[in-house]
Amino acid sequence: MLKLYSCSGSTFYGDNCDYHILHLLSIYGSISMSISYLGMMLLLWWLVVATVADDVKYKDPKQPVAARVKDLLGRMTLEEKIGQMVQIERISATPDIMKKYFIGSLLSGGGSVPNPHATVADWINMVNEFQNGSLSTRLGIPMIYGIDAVHGHNNVINATIFPHNIGLGATRDTDLVKRIGAATATEVRATGIPYAFAPCIAVCRDPRWGRCYESYSEDTKLVQNMTDIILGLQGEIPKGSRLGVPYVAGKDKVAACAKHFVGDGGTTLGIDESNTVASQHELLSIHMPPYYDSIIKGVSTVMVSYSSWNGKRMHANGDLITGYLKDKLNFKGFVISDWEGIDRITSPPHSNYTYSVLASISAGIDMVMIPNNYTEFINDLKYLVKHKFIPMDRINDAVSRILRVKFTMGLFENPLADFSMVNEVGSQPHRDIAREAVRKSLVLLKNGKQADEPMLPLPKMASKVLVAGSHADNLGYQCGGWTIGWQGFSGNENTTGTTILTGIKSAVDPKTEISYMENPNTDFIKSNRFSYAIVVVGEHPYTEMFGDSPNLTIADPGPNIIRNVCGNVKCVVVIISGRPVVIEPYLSMIDALVAAWLPGTEGQGVADVLFGDHEFTGKLSRTWFRSVDQLPMNIGDPHYNPLFPFGFGLTTKTVIGR
């Protein structure tokens, strides 16, 4: 078989063009010298072209993935390999940059969109424009575009927003999370994006952590079970698949990302990006097991945590990234850093960037999320390789893993998105799944001041009902962080959905009068003789360190609304929050109490259960404390004395014919 070379870089591959042309001429030297020089060159060209299809294995989908990876890797220059290891923010990219630096991946950070009112078509066109830049390179390696689709395709206007993970943990329903994963994958793919930074499989051990709602539970086993969402995002892994090998089923599935490796849910005082103090046994028994399950289920990528373990930054922890994740657990996908994660290896961040590049790549990170300073990273890594601080084998390992995922998911065969699935974004079947998830996630904590006098289900027929609270008619508040913008939003204008108030209005009898006032005073409540009241209060949206809270209180004026309303009329309080919050001081005046978590766009699901069309079935996925002074407090701790224990949840029966 002939090996192909090039002077132009477009047809042959190699460095010394003259030598290889002479080599080819020598092979065919028996050809009559009477052929003209022009004829000889035409014959040579024909011989070369005739061998292209057989020689370029990486372009042949019939070849095994390993053969395609090996073939492509053998053709790549150092610059092309380093480019594959780079992921930059779309704001920093152009098609020319993708081509010039051989960029392997792009991402949209929270709220990073083609334009403020971007349609599905706008997303597709943007992704394809960048992709065309990548495809125009010498080897035509497609880039992979990633996005934080952590509770649905949450950056995209009018997409279905599912409950955050803490609510899904309360359902205990693995089939449901698989269907949520599949719906999310379809909506993400519909916009031309093949890679989702989900799921978060942190085991949150302290609700003061601002990312606790991204965790399914404080209980390791429950988090392990919920990794079934990977089977929805990527597809069911085929029987007989090799352990640790990534798997993506087709054009309506995405590469998933288990995050954040490892121990991010165990930081001291729940401070984001901080230090997890734990023995090796505690780390491996509490925080590591969900990664076992994710790898068994074929997860394509793993994202490294900002946090440290016993003082060592995870982004520089080769013992865990290479020694444990890759070698012991046999993970064959690629490991990606978090946003500017390698910068945080030093304190202050970015103070010795060359060292950060050396430490992170040596530790086993394969793809580095560098939103902006990609040229600095490329230059530093090239220097470190050329001067043998980082061996070429480490670069080849990283690039092989990245290419393995790209080949496995069919990105080389289908690099460009089309418009065939545009109607999937926010589709009614997906909203129906989200509404089901809301119903199953609700946890009934109290039902009546007397056990034999339950308040729920509420009667649909009543003369007048008061709905109060800052969260009753606020789509942004009920969706929480990671929705449209990084930190979420307030109000009903930024996307499509049903507020809890709208759901209540559609659930009650047409003759029932609904009176909504966000913060009613005592005189108003007493003068209207309400049959009962529904109070909806909770936390305002937050993400990451902005959600770290030492006190975990309901946002004002929530406590005052509870006192005013529940002190004067029979009431049910619905808490919208990303975690348990302080509720004991008000519990005695509340008739019924519901933890609704962060339900997403389908607020009708709350009304479905309040009025008895469906049962309360949710169980607490984490312990509800009495006082923040008890924290951290988790099931099994010797000082365990909760207000409501892990697994608690009252039930109701559906009411027929109302």
Rg (CA), the chain: 28
Which neighbouring-strand residues pair with 50?
Answer: none
pLDDT band at 376 (very low <50, low <70, confident <90, very high): very high
**Per-residue pLDDT, 451:** 80
Cβ–Cβ < 8 Å for 478, 484: no
SS3 track for 349-369: CCCCHHHHHHHHHHHCCCEEE
Nearest alpha carbon to residue 272 among 301, 303, 305? 305
pLDDT band at 21 (very low <50, low <70, confident <90, very high): very low
Neighbours of 33 (CB within 10 A): 8
Residue 573 pLDDT > 50, yes or no? Answer: yes
Residue 44 pLDDT > 80, yes or no? Answer: no
Average pLDDT, the chain: 93
Residue 49 pLDDT > 80, yes or no? Answer: no
Cβ–Cβ < 8 Å for 138, 9: yes
- Structure confidence by residue, pLDDT tens digits, 420-469: 999 999 999 999 999 999 999 999 999 999 888 999 999 999 999 999 99
Residue 30 pLDDT > 70, yes or no? Answer: no
Cβ–Cβ < 8 Å for 623, 635: yes
CA max distance for the chain: 112
Residue 496 pLDDT > 70, yes or no? Answer: yes
Residue 566 pLDDT > 70, yes or no? Answer: yes
pLDDT band at 658 (very low <50, low <70, confident <90, very high): low
Average pLDDT over residues 317-324: 98
Identify the H or E element spanning 98: helix 95-101
Residue 124 pLDDT > 90, yes or no? Answer: yes
Query: Which sequence positions are flagged as catalytic?
Result: 338, 544
Residue 273 pLDDT > 90, yes or no? Answer: yes
How many residues in total does the chain contain?
A: 658
**Per-residue pLDDT, 55:** 75
**Per-residue pLDDT, 223:** 99
pLDDT band at 99 (very low <50, low <70, confident <90, very high): very high
Nearest alpha carbon to residue 594 among 543, 556, 649? 649
Block residue for tokens 């649905």: 152
- Structure confidence by residue, pLDDT tens digits, 616-638: 999 999 999 999 999 999 999 99
- The percent of residues above 70 in pLDDT, for the chain, comes to 91
* C-alpha to C-alpha distance for 607 and 390, rounded to whole angstroms: 58
- Structure confidence by residue, pLDDT tens digits, 395-417: 999 999 999 999 999 999 999 99
**Of the candidate ranges 17-21, 160-164, 271-275, 299-303, the one whose mean pLDDT is the lowest:** 17-21
Using the 8-state DSSP alphabet, how is residue 553 labeled?
Answer: P
Domains, the chain, ordered by start = 84-409 (3.20.20.300), 428-630 (3.40.50.1700)
Average pLDDT over residues 309-336: 98
Identify the H or E element spanning 260: strand 257-261
Average pLDDT over residues 49-63: 74
Report CA dihedral (577, 583, 589, 592) to the nearest 10 degrees: 40
Taking CA atoms, 555 is separated from 272, 349, 433, 473, 596, in Å, by 21, 33, 29, 15, 15
**Per-residue pLDDT, 657:** 57
- Structure confidence by residue, pLDDT tens digits, 252-265: 999 999 999 999 99
DSSP β-ladder status, 443-447 and 592-597:
antiparallel
- Looking at 136-193, list the stretches that DSSP marks H as alpha helix, in order from N- to C-terminal side: 165-171, 174-190
**Per-residue pLDDT, 309:** 98
- Structure confidence by residue, pLDDT tens digits, 281-293: 999 999 999 999 9
pLDDT band at 37 (very low <50, low <70, confident <90, very high): very low
Average pLDDT over residues 75-104: 98
**Per-residue pLDDT, 331:** 98
Sheet holding 513-517, edge to edge: 443-447, 592-597, 571-576, 532-538, 464-468, 513-517
